[in-house]
A and B are shown apart, each in its own frame.
Chain A
């Protein structure tokens, strides 16, 4: 579960997030849309404990951050713009390294399980550098899922993914929903990303300007219309 109350983040004089209040329940899959610079990545980085908020309250699974960041981190799986993997190491070595950081018992079995889940089990002995962008993203997903997090935060996870990799992502979302895992992801690709969601938010200039359930817009085309209205209604 994700909760924020009047969350603000400033970089010098630039206000990246303005009084953002948001609740995402356990088992919900929520998309976060918005133009470049709207504050999507900043919001996700704060929720992932990578960045401290300037003001406001944040809680992950009812653990307040930054105060309880250490405990919250065990509940968070994050995929950012970069894979966060070491190019020189194999996929297996990367996952074993992260398994040690997350103090995962029986890490070998868990690595093979999660590798199978994202369809990278045959590439475990390949160095990350030699993988295609799609497989690197799968490896990044495996890293994020390795410690069985209760909250998944993905920053534009469709970037560079082919159709097969996209289906892996949709399967992860569906599995998360059934397992009561909270998912919040940012996206620019409505066609591919909105099938599996329960709800979508639009962030603009650091503020949530739209928060609607899937029943309000039905499909990607419907959401694109809502998005266009929100973008047109308020000039930057």
Chain B
């Protein structure tokens, strides 16, 4: 029972700190908007099928913006020494991980909730919101799961701003490919059987990385 109370205490603290400073959220939102605008100008999309290119553009915006938020997740704790405060408490390290990962997931979802309608407007795309939103959330779970773990690793290094993308992007490749493929399926209204394999891969990725990160987090954060 304490596990969940502590997890929710960490999540509530993360939300309170972020909504006071808006450090990560504002950076993520501005960056996502910039990515969409740049792609809009760069591709001059008249004549190009947005149902094929759109998912890639969308996930690039999610990924690059999300990484800004993930980078702040542990850097802020390390800068202020408050990570030690959490580690001093009799809290399961898994609860710390899940609390931070849940907070990162929510921040990325907020960014996506603003980015997706902007994408639809800027690119004049027609999308079926269901099941698209569900697929995006599924991809975001894996992104936040692996991103939170690697953010903790990167935060303890000297070049953490550089280290996080260097560590994260190679690990994200299967997730990104699967997410783009199933998002394309949703954009094109393809039958589920056409991209069921990618959906299975995405679910497996989420489960594997959540479990691995939960189990290994203790070794990442302790000296």
Binding site for B on A (CB under 8 A): 45, 48-52, 70-71, 73-74, 76, 78, 80-89, 93, 97-98, 100-103, 143
Contacts and interface: CB of A to CB of B under 8 A. Distances in A.
B94 to A, nearest CB: 12
Given A50-B88, A76-B88, A101-B90, 13 more contacts: A50-B87, A73-B88, A73-B90, A80-B84, A84-B84, A84-B85, A85-B85, A86-B17, A88-B20, A89-B16, A89-B17, A93-B16, A103-B6
B82 interface: yes
A78 B89 CA distance: 10
Nearest to A11: B223
**Residue among A50, A51, A81 having the largest count of chain B Cβ atoms under 10 Å:** A50
A80 B84 CA distance: 9
Contacts of A74: 90
A82 to B, nearest CB: 3
Given A84-B85, A86-B82, A50 B9 contact: no
Interface residues of B, number: 25
Nearest to A42: B223
A112 B12 CA distance: 21
Contacts of A85: 80, 82, 85
B17 A98 contact: no
A88 B90 contact: no
A101 B223 CA distance: 21
B81 A82 contact: yes
A58 B16 CA distance: 37
B88 A48 contact: yes
A86 B12 CA distance: 13
Contacts of A101: 6, 9-10, 86, 89-91
Nearest to A140: B85
B81 A80 contact: yes
B2 interface: yes
A209 B203 CA distance: 58
A49 B86 CA distance: 12
Nearest to A70: B90
A86 B90 CA distance: 19
A76 B85 CA distance: 12
Q: Which one of A81, A85, A88 has the greatest number of beta carbons of chain B within 10 Å? A: A88
Contacts of B5: 100, 103
18 contacts: A48-B88, A51-B223, A71-B90, A73-B88, A74-B90, A76-B88, A80-B84, A82-B81, A83-B81, A84-B80, A84-B81, A84-B88, A85-B82, A88-B21, A89-B13, A93-B16, A101-B6, A103-B90
B49 interface: no
Majority SS of interface residues in chain A?
loop
Interface of B: 2, 5-6, 9-10, 12-13, 16-17, 20-21, 80-82, 84-92, 222-223
Given A52-B223, A73-B90, A101-B86, A87 B9 contact: no
B16 to A, nearest CB: 6
A71 B222 CA distance: 16
A51, A70, A86 pick with most chain B CB within 10 angstroms: A86
Contacts of B91: 101
Contacts of B92: 70
Interface centre among B10, B16, B92 (most CB of A within 10 A): B16
B213 to A, nearest CB: 20
Contacts of A78: 84, 88
Contacts of A103: 2, 5-6, 90
Contacts of A82: 80-82, 84
Nearest to B13: A97
A61 to B, nearest CB: 13
Contacts of A73: 88-90
A98 B6 CA distance: 9
Contacts of A100: 5-6, 9
A83 B16 CA distance: 19
Closest CB pairs A-B (n = 6): A82-B81, A84-B85, A100-B9, A101-B89, A51-B223, A73-B90
A80 B21 CA distance: 25
A148 B43 CA distance: 63
A52 B16 CA distance: 32
Contacts of A143: 85
